[in-house]
Amino acid sequence: NKVWYEDVMMDQPDDRIFSRKVLFTELKRANQELNYNTFKWLMPELLSKGLIFRVGYDTYTRSMPSGKLWYTPDYSKYAQTLLNTIESEYPLAEFYVFESILLNEFLNHQIAQNTIVIQVEKEVGSFVFDFLDEKLGGRILYKPDEREYQRYWRENCVIIVDRVSESPRDRQNPHHMILEKLLVDLFAETAIKRLFSPGEYPLIMEIATGRYFIDEKKMLRYARRRNAAEKMIVYMETFRDDCKGKL
């Protein structure tokens, strides 16, 4: 049986472009009880069901675009605020922001409880931790081991870890996770690996490679720095063989 928001989206023109604000307005027009917090949790559902497709930062459309897209992480307001706060306090620091709900675009089993991982250069990490610890009231961990993570993790927890030097980045948005880095860190970064099931990785790769442009040379160069190149190469070759078998 269809749920109410499916009918709303199916009535939209295929070529219509939405921002989050416009999309929320359209859905609330059909359901006055909808609030923005519920809408935020509804977004992954709309994406996973193919009712909308992301085509850029805060830009969505009703129909699957022809051709591949450039990946742009769609950060939550909370993660974007953290990014801006760190950037303002430490303008010269090199850091990247990852949040677990970014993976919902690629997963069957949606992540509901968000975790934010900030990869920051080693010399600055402890200062960033102390700075954010005062603002977040203990909802932050500094390079936690598994025991500490299991004991102290809370929803919207922020985890500070060391940044790997020469990580690939977007020059226009230097603190964003580009897709090549994201796919490698799912293999190599402990703080990120523990946030989803390894069994989901094939689907993540299938959707990512099918939907977005990926610079394999850039991805493998970074994978070598993270001692994950062999795993990535084996997986990519297996994935290509699977694709050929489906032709």
pLDDT tens-digit profile of 100-132? 999 988 887 788 889 999 999 999 999 999 999
From residue 173, how far is each of 96, 117, 170, 177, 226 by CA, in Å?
A: 10, 17, 5, 9, 22
The tokens for 165 are 């030097």
Q: Is 111 within 8 Å of 196 (Cβ atoms)?
A: yes
Rounded to a whole number of angstroms, the CA Rg of the chain reads 19
pTM of this structure: 0.73
Specify which residues 159 forms β-bridges with. Answer: 117, 141
Q: What is the pLDDT of residues 190-206, one digit of tens each?
A: 999 999 888 888 888 88
